[in-house]
């Protein structure tokens, strides 16, 4: 019988942080299980390689939503990382914590210990900011946070134009002033992606009290009465039962964590009955409250000096490749977007509810999955609602663990969200029509000048809107009837079982969610250590 103190399910952003934190104590024996493979590959390490990972058959779960009536029956592709580092190994590497008031709201929803002043020390602890430490930022932590390797002139002009229309400049949107416009930072170190695996797990893989296994799909959590005792897992085609002497920790992400709980008999009664799964414990909130950032992308043809499209096409892309191999610099060392503006959709909003992101390049995703950098110079600007009122669900297609989860996000079903998005498109146009960025624009082609009315903009969103891949909140933390975990991240009504990942967010944060996910895991690791459960008596 294999016995570990802690079994962590999922080696994504949260799982890697947890494995490091729990094995800091040499007395803890930790098993980290990951369904995907190793991610030690050139295009994973290369920031611009994210384009090649978007449809990757090995490193991506390649999920899709259910058809959405509000989007004309359209299904939406949802890439999710599969492998060591999870989505942090395939994402755009943007590091945004969210607004301080996001976390105060979590606290006020019945989660003591999760206010901004409570979580700030964990944000600081996990990072090494290349600018150095201050009251808000950390230095010396595992995750390297850097400025863009190249800052394009058009990015500076976008910031200047945003300031001219009344958006304040912020030098650090993870610092004192979140709302405003400025350069974003990324999880990139000396031109290489810093996934959670590279930053947190790889440096400690040699620890004798840590076992990491890839290619292992957990089938279900095992229980004795209502106490988690281990997992049933298939590794390399072999089914195994592995025992946890202290706790089982689910860190499989906002889509797979609720799926695994339901497969294990923990979840909404009707959903379990529908698939013939014996109910262990009814928790109606499992899989409910799905939140995501629905975004729309606008694009303009630009002057040649405003865009780096031509630098990464044709023969020039090989020159850039050589430059990257020699220096780890250049355009291949850049993250997804350079600049962000956090703005209000209307004066009545308390704090910024829209994120506008600018990138000095454009590309087209073809139906085949091939990404092609556009042949003409162009710049792209996207927008999404930060705290959407729309919620969806994650349920099951079947009781087969190999089947994907059933994802129903319900995008564009809340009129306040729709109105906010339309405001975002209009604000993008206002910025892009203001000097100095206006002088760099040849013409807008997405959505195009023919799209002017609210109805036309809604039609554009219906036809082209997409996910920002910030799925969260499907095992939310709280004290109400729909809460899945308490403020210590313990599954309600179940012993020795926790969920520690983005699924526990009561409300999605105001920005990209990788940074708060790392924070959740760092804080969760401390909680597990503080709670210090004794080992169960196991009869062999």
Active-site annotation, residues: 470
Rounded to 5 degrees, φ, ψ at 481 are -65, -25
Residues 6+ apart with CB under 8 A from 159: 169, 181, 182, 183, 339
| Residues 212/12, Cβ–Cβ less than 8 Å | no
Three-state DSSP state, 34: coil
**Best CA proximity match to 196, nearest among 59, 338, 18:** 18
Sign of the dihedral defined by the CA atoms of residues 479, 484, 486, 492, in that order: positive
Peptide linkage before 447 cis (omega within 30 of 0):
yes
Show the CA angle centred on residue 349, arms to residues 343 and 355, nearest 5°: 25
Residues 6+ apart with CB under 8 A from 40: 84
- Which DSSP state fits 438? G
Residues 6+ apart with CB under 8 A from 226: 280, 281, 493, 494, 495
| Residues 91/514, Cβ–Cβ less than 8 Å | yes
Angstrom distance (rounded) from CA 359 to CA 375: 16
Residues 6+ apart with CB under 8 A from 94: 184, 185, 186, 335, 336, 337, 340, 511, 512, 514
Beta strands, E only, 203-268 = 210-213, 216-224, 227-235, 238-250, 266-267
Torsion of CA 148, 152, 154, 155, to 10 degrees: 10
- Which DSSP state fits 68? B
Three-state DSSP state, 16: helix
**Best CA proximity match to 290, nearest among 259, 263, 269, 336:** 259
**Best CA proximity match to 219, nearest among 231, 227, 205:** 231
- Which DSSP state fits 41? -
- Which DSSP state fits 175? S
Angstrom distance (rounded) from CA 516 to CA 158: 27
Residue 505, CA distances (Å) to 119, 291, 403, 455 in order = 13, 9, 25, 33
Torsion of CA 342, 184, 142, 468, to 10 degrees: 60
């Amino acid at each position: 019988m294999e016995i570990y103190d802690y079994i962590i399910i999922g080696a994504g952003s949260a799982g890697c942080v947890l494995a490091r934190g729990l094995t800091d104590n040499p007395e803890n024996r930790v098993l980290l299980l990951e369904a995907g493979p190793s991610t030690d590959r050139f295009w994973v390490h290369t920031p611009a390689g994210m384009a090649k990972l978007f449809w990757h058959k090995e490193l991506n779960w390649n999920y899709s939503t259910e058809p959405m009536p509000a989007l004309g029956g359209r299904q939406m592709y949802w890439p999710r990382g599969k492998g060591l580092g999870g989505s942090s190994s395939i994402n755009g590497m943007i590091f945004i914590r969210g607004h301080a008031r996001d976390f105060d709201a979590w606290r006020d929803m019945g989660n003591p210990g999760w206010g901004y002043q409570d979580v700030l020390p964990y944000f600081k602890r996990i990072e090494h900011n290349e600018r150095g430490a201050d009251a808000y930022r950390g230095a010396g932590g595992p995750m390297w946070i850097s400025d863009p390797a190249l800052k394009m002139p058009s990015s500076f002009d976008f910031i200047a134009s945003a300031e001219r229309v009344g958006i304040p400049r912020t030098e650090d949107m993870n610092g004192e002033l979140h709302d405003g416009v400025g350069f974003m930072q990324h999880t990139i170190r000396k031109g290489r992606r810093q996934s959670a695996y590279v930053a947190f797990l790889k440096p400690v893989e040699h620890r004798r009290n840590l076992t990491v296994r890839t290619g292992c799909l957990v089938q279900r959590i095992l229980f004795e009465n209502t106490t988690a005792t281990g997992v049933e897992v298939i590794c390399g085609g072999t089914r195994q039962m592995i025992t946890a002497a202290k706790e089982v920790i689910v860190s499989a992400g906002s889509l797979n964590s609720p799926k695994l709980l339901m497969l294990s008999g923990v979840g909404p009664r009707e959903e379990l009955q529908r698939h013939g799964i014996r109910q262990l414990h009814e928790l109606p909130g499992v899989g409910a409250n799905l939140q995501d950032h629905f975004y729309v992308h606008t694009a303009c043809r630009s002057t040649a000096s405003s865009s780096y499209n031509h630098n990464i096409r044709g023969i020039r892309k090989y020159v850039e490749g050589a430059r990257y191999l020699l220096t780890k610099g250049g355009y291949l060392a850049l993250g997804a977007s350079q600049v962000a503006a956090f703005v209000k959709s209307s004066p009545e909003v308390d704090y910024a509810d829209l994120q506008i992101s600018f990138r000095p390049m454009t590309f087209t995703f073809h139906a085949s999955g091939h990404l092609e950098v556009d042949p003409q110079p162009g710049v792209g600007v996207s927008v999404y609602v930060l705290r959407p009122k729309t919620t969806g669900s994650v349920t099951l297609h079947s009781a087969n663990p190999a089947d994907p989860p059933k994802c129903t996000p319900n995008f564009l079903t809340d009129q306040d969200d729709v109105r906010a998005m339309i405001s975002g498109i209009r604000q993008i146009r206002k910025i892009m029509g203001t000097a100095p960025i206006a002088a760099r624009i040849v013409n807008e082609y997405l959505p195009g000048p023919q799209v002017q009315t609210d109805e036309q903009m809604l039609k554009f969103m219906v036809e082209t809107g997409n996910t920002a891949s910030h799925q969260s909140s499907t095992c939310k933390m709280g004290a109400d009837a729909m809460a899945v975990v308490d403020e210590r991240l313990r599954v309600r009504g179940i012993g020795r079982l926790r969920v520690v990942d983005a699924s526990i967010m009561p409300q999605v944060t105001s920005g990209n969610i990788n940074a708060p996910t790392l924070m959740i895991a760092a804080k969760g690791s401390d909680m597990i250590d503080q709670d210090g459960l004794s080992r169960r008596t196991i009869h062999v």
